[in-house]
């Protein structure tokens, strides 16, 4: 088995859930407000992973939900010859209140088709299934308390699921609670023990994985005497920060692995910013002589390179850049490569037939909308990244604009746009939003198609433009990519940085911009 190098899923791939069926390994990750929902990945050797699609795509719509709401913490399992996928949809998250719906979908194949969702109630979030050896099925999850005088995270609860009736039993057992935040629970039966794996300390720099155990399913559960099985909260210089939210999987050889999230921050003025979001990692674990889960090799810090005794560890200090190009020659948009906000773009909005070989992107709502934005986005996987497009755009109003964008959420984005006003004619501007909007001075450009480029270098973002066959010209200014991160500002933010293409038509007259190609390039670099 080859050594693996963390993160195994780079860029925004949080809350990983792992499953092995035969010789195939699968990971599902959270997608929050992005469409398609619940990203699925596959591997046969644990070191090399590929995205194979999404579980929630056709007919799934999240329009109206808030930023960082949507689909949280999907959890995979396998029972009765079916793949089971539990997930939460967070519809509102205002103050003490959270409106949450939990669902189950099943399929005979990981690539679907997936069943219609079965509603599992609205008690809390981070629900997962435990299938006991006696054939019973159980749900364990976070119980939310909306009352302001009570702790919101009111414990981890267990409830039986009745598959023949497609409903929960309605009665819960409180399995575990402590003063700090505990969430992301998963149950396992290993030997004579039931183990409750727990995400502790919140999703930020204090994140970690701990464990509790019991001889009986319903408890009582005894907490691990150690502070954490896995964390980097005490190692601020470690390359894998925020390590936590884990699940276990056993290999065919009997080894145990822990999948977990972590972040690779970049530095700005000495402060850490996780612009890439939370990524997916794997660690080797074992049960020690006292019956507790421990990292193989000791300690509690995440390892960047994880190997087996007979594995060859590849040490490549200067990895080659990774690059892909979408020429928009396919009849439909590549939904593995591109994400959209809250729902799919209708064929008339992302039109690949109107001008063969081009994406005709019809403008939509403003960047503030939770309904019909017209934008395609791709995950940023490294701190050095570059997106280049060729755009044919002829706006005739300040309310028509299109171009390349660095996007975090509706309150945080930086956009190089081709737009128009009576004073300057067709021109370029950089418009950015960090709570409030700001616009750069205009750059008047000639008629015809333009190449636009967004370049990320750690905490900094720059832009350039060129005529179709001309030399590149830098757009004045260095822009704050570090603001496009979980860690900037007072708001709860759970996603990551995307680069993409957007078009606005604020008059709703059907105006469009045509995109000939999009070229994405990543270079691994340490920006700590």
- Among candidate residues 15, 67, 351, 486, the one labeled active-site is 15
**Alpha helix (H) ranges present in 133-292?**
none
Beta carbons within 10 angstroms of residue 503's beta carbon: 29
Cα 376 from Cα 388, distance rounded (Å): 14
Per the CB < 8 A criterion, the answer to whether 280 and 29 are in contact is yes
Task: Match 């900094």 to its residue by tokens.
Answer: 460
Known active-site residue 183: yes
Known active-site residue 15: yes
**Tokens in use for 198?**
């727990």
Beta carbons within 10 angstroms of residue 400's beta carbon: 23
Q: Which residues on neighbouring strands pair with residue 98, listed in sequence order? A: 93
Per the CB < 8 A criterion, the answer to whether 175 and 201 are in contact is no
Beta carbons within 10 angstroms of residue 386's beta carbon: 19
- Among candidate residues 33, 126, 183, 351, the one labeled active-site is 183
Cα 262 from Cα 360, distance rounded (Å): 37
Task: Match 């913490």 to its residue by tokens.
Answer: 73
**Tokens in use for 248?**
């276990």
Q: Using a CB cutoff of 8 Å and minimum separation of 24, what contacts does 313-319 make?
A: 313/3, 314/2, 314/3, 314/5, 319/524
Beta carbons within 10 angstroms of residue 248's beta carbon: 17
Collapsing DSSP to helix, strand or coil, 48 comes out as: coil
Beta carbons within 10 angstroms of residue 135's beta carbon: 9
Per the CB < 8 A criterion, the answer to whether 341 and 365 are in contact is no
- For residue 481, report the phi and psi dihedrals to the nearest 5 degrees: -65, -25
| Active site members | 15, 183
């Amino acid at each position: 088995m080859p050594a693996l190098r963390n993160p195994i899923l780079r860029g925004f791939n949080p809350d990983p859930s792992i499953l092995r069926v035969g010789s195939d390994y699968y990971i599902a990750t959270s997608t929050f407000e992005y469409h398609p929902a619940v990203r699925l990945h596959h591997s046969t050797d644990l070191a090399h992973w590929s995205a194979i699609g999404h579980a929630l795509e056709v007919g799934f719509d999240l329009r109206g939900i808030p930023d960082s709401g949507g689909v949280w913490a999907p959890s995979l399992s396998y029972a009765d010859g079916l793949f089971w996928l539990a997930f939460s949809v967070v519809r509102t998250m205002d103050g003490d209140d959270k409106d949450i719906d939990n669902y189950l979908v099943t399929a005979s194949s990981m690539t679907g088709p997936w069943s219609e969702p079965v509603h599992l109630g609205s008690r809390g979030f981070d629900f997962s299934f435990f299938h006991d050896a006696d054939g019973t099925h159980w749900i364990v999850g976070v119980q939310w308390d909306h009352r302001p005088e009570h702790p919101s995270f009111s414990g981890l609860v267990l409830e039986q699921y009745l598959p023949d009736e497609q409903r929960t039993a309605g009665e819960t057992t409180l399995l575990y609670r402590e003063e700090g935040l505990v969430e992301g629970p998963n149950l396992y039966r290993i030997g004579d023990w039931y183990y409750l794996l727990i995400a502790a300390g919140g999703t930020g720099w204090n994140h970690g994985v701990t464990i509790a155990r019991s001889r009986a399913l319903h408890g009582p559960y005894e907490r691990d005497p150690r502070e954490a099985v896995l964390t980097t909260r005490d190692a601020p210089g470690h390359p894998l920060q925020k390590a936590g939210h884990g699940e276990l999987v056993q290999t065919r050889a009997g080894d145990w692995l822990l999948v977990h999230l972590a972040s690779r921050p970049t530095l700005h003025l000495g402060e850490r910013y996780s612009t890439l979001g939370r990524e997916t990692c794997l660690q080797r674990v074992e049960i020690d002589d006292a019956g507790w889960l421990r990292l193989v090799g000791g300690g509690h810090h995440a390892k960047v390179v994880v190997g087996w005794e007979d594995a060859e560890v590849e040490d490549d200090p200067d990895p080659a850049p990774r690059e892909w190009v979408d020429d928009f020659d396919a009849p439909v948009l590549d939904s593995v490569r591109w994400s959209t906000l809250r729902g799919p773009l209708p064929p008339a909005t992302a039109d690949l037939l109107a001008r063969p070989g081009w994406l005709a992107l019809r403008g939509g709502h403003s960047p503030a909308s939770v309904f019909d934005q017209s934008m395609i986005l791709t995950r940023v996987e490294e701190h050095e990244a570059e997106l280049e497009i060729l755009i044919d755009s002829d706006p005739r109003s300040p309310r028509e604009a299109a171009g390349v964008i660095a996007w975090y959420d509706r309150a945080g984005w930086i956009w190089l746009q081709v737009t128009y006003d009576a004073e300057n004619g067709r021109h370029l501007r950089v418009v950015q939003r960090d709570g409030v909007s700001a616009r750069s001075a205009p750059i008047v450009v000639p008629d015809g198609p333009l190449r636009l480029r967004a370049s990320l270098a750690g905490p900094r973002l720059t832009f350039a433009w060129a005529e179709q066959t001309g030399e590149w010209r830098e757009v004045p200014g260095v822009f704050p990519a570090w603001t496009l991160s979980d860690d900037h500002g007072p708001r709860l933010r759970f996603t990551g940085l995307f680069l993409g293409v957007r078009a606005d038509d604020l008059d709703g007259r059907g105006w469009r911009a045509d995109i000939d190609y999009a070229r994405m390039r990543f270079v691994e670099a340490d920006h700590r």
